[in-house]
Amino acid sequence: YRLLQKTASFPGGWLTATVLFIMLAIALAVAIHVARRTMRTNRGGDYQLFEAAQLTAAQHRATAEDFAARGEWTAAIRHRLRAVARQLEETGVLNPAPGRTANELAVDAGAALPHLAGELAQAATAFNDVTYGERPGTQSAYQMIADLDEHLRSRSATVPGGPGQTAAPDSWAQVR
């Protein structure tokens, strides 16, 4: 009650007090929203493109296939895109970059493999949707990333000049 009486003595009186209380309420609401989003995002583990433990492309692929077999599409999508990224690093297409995001992967790999830039961007979008957008993973999104991964695996095994060279000028999706 005393606080309310003192606010009447401020320049502007009750109008100033009302504006200050509204601003305080908005700041509190924003702080709660940010805190809840942070807690929701951090529960359940590390959602960077790569986790602290360094797994090979084959290990990420096997983990993704295990999740997919159980119908856990969100985790399957995360690990399958990690397999794609690790495959590109293992074959020398990309230099390893700790902390690389899915979007950075799409841009970097798209520059090295321009005929796959669209598919890489779609894969990054699927990863971001399930990781940050909190959308449920789908079998079709997982299959799209798995097809990209399989194409990259077969490409690295059949490119005569070695890793890091593009195999075809057109998108692999047109060949299917």
Is it the case that residue 65 has pLDDT exceeding 50?
yes
Tell me if residue 11 falls in helix, strand or coil. Answer: coil
DSSP label of 132: T
Task: Record the tokens describing residue 6, joined without a space.
Answer: 């003192």
Cα–Cα distance measured from residue 40 to residue 43, given in angstroms and rounded to the nearest whole number: 6
The pLDDT confidence band at residue 15, using thresholds 50, 70 and 90, is confident
DSSP string, 86-106: HHHHHTTSS---TT--HHHHH
Element (H, E) at 62: helix 57-69
pLDDT, residue 27, reads 96
Largest CA distance in the chain: 83
Is it the case that residue 161 has pLDDT exceeding 50?
no
Cα–Cα distance measured from residue 171 to residue 114, given in angstroms and rounded to the nearest whole number: 9
Is it the case that residue 127 has pLDDT exceeding 90?
yes
Closest of 156, 165, 170 to residue 115, by C-alpha: 170
Residue 113 and residue 106 in contact, taking contact as beta carbons nearer than 8 Å: no
Task: Record the tokens describing residue 105, joined without a space.
Answer: 């992967």
Is it the case that residue 113 has pLDDT exceeding 60?
yes
How many other β-carbons are positioned within 10 Å of the β-carbon of residue 120? 28
Beta strands in 32-95 (DSSP E): none
Task: Record the tokens describing residue 57, joined without a space.
Answer: 């492309």
Q: Among 65-69, 129-133, 154-158, where is mean pLDDT lowest?
A: 154-158
